[in-house]
């Protein structure tokens, strides 16, 4: 049984295109599939689930599409079905460019759910793996400059302690839907030893049984 499953939820756009629907419809149904993963994770007793919901690359998309994705997240945080489950919700990513209301809601839910124990759900929003590594290196450089750490003695453990969520365990299984065999800047530190699982179906078609 893996302790930590991380998912690249890919194929929302193609799922919609295939049906002659707007891409936004793919994201709406994809959002339901994300809820399914949370229900499934609770059912099988998974401790950590991490979802790649919005990458730093996603800002290149059409403004309407970006708004659809971010609004779905806002709606989930304010009144979604996950809110009352035994799920600790947290956010991995950077606040730059995100709507202030969304940042506030992400921080609010982190505070509100911080003592929950069954599942830790980490949602990556405005996340990029290299960005995470670069910021962690900068935090270590600050610590070295302040004299808190000797730069010659920096270890992997020291690095891990300066990551945004130092308690996040290594990823055991990284799953990507949508028929692309790439990891796309997702969790490069945590997924270094992960087993990779690529499936051809589109994200909106998955449900908890796939997990």
Task: Please give the positions annotated as active site.
Answer: 10, 58
**Structure tokens of 133?**
């590594």
User: Which residues contact residue 163 at a Cβ distance below 8 angstroms, ignoring those fewer than 6 apart?
Assistant: 132, 136, 189
Q: Taking the complex as a whole, how short is the minimal distance between the CB of residue 139 and ligand FPP, in angstroms?
A: 26
Specify the residue, 58 or 199, whose C-beta has the smaller distance to ligand FPP: 58
Show contacts with ligand FPP in window 114-133 (CB under 6 A): 123
Site mask, ligand FPP, residues 169-208, x = CB under 6 A? ---------x------------------------------
Alpha-helical (H) ranges within 45-91 are: 63-79
73 binds ligand FPP per the rule CB under 6 A? yes
How far apart (Å, rounded) are the C-alpha atoms in residues 61 and 76?
21
DSSP lists the bridge partners of residue 7 as: 51, 175
Return d(Cα 176, Cα 7) in angstroms, integer. 6
Q: By CB under 6 A, tell whether 83 contacts ligand FPP.
A: no
Of 3-11, 39-47, 90-98, 150-158: span binding ligand FPP (CB under 6 A): 3-11
- Please give the DSSP secondary-structure letter assigned to residue 52: E
Nearest-angstrom CA–CA distance, 202 and 180 = 10
Q: Which is nearer to ligand FPP, 9 or 41 (CB)?
A: 9
Rounded to 10 degrees, the C-alpha dihedral 176/177/182/186 comes to: -40
Could you say whether residue 40 binds ligand FPP (CB under 6 A)? Answer: no
Residue 41 is a binding residue for ligand FPP (CB under 6 A)? no
Phi, psi of 161 (to 5 degrees): -70, -20
Instruction: Sheet containing 173-176: give its strands across.
Output: 87-92, 119-127, 48-55, 4-8, 173-176, 195-198
DSSP state at residue 165: S
Q: Please pick, from the candidates 9, 140, 149, 191, the single residue that binds ligand FPP as defined by CB under 6 A.
A: 9
**Region near ligand FPP per CB under 6 A, out of 11-19, 150-158, 159-167, 192-200:** 11-19
- Does position 89 interact with ligand FPP (CB under 6 A)? The reply is no
53 touches ligand FPP (CB under 6 A): yes
Residue where the block lists tokens 């990029």:
128
From 4-12, 90-98, 131-139, 186-194, give the range in contact with ligand FPP by CB under 6 A.
4-12
Q: Using CB under 6 A, list all residues that contact ligand FPP.
A: 9-14, 27, 30-31, 34, 51, 53, 58, 69, 72-73, 76, 123, 178
């Amino acid at each position: 049984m893996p302790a930590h499953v991380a998912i690249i939820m890919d194929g929302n756009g193609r799922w919609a295109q295939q049906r002659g629907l707007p891409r936004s419809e793919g994201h709406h149904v994809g959002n339901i599939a994300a809820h399914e993963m949370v229900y499934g994770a609770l059912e099988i007793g998974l401790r950590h689930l991490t979802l790649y919901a919005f990458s730093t690359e996603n800002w290149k998309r059409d403004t309407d599409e970006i708004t659809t994705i971010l609004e779905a997240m806002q709606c989930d945080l304010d009144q979604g079905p996950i809110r009352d489950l035994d799920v600790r919700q947290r956010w991995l990513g950077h606040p730059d460019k995100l709507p202030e209301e969304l940042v506030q809601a992400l921080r609010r839910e982190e505070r509100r759910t911080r003592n929950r124990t069954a599942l830790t759900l980490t949602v990556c929003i405005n996340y990029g793996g290299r960005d995470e590594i670069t910021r962690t290196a900068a935090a270590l450089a600050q610590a070295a400059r302040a004299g808190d750490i000797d730069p010659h003695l920096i270890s992997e453990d020291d690095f891990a302690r300066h990551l945004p969520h130092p308690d996040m365990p290594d990823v055991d299984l990284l799953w990507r839907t949508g028929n692309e065999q790439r990891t796309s800047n997702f969790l490069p530190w945590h997924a270094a030893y992960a087993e990779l699982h690529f499936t051809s179906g589109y994200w909106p078609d998955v449900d908890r049984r796939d997990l």
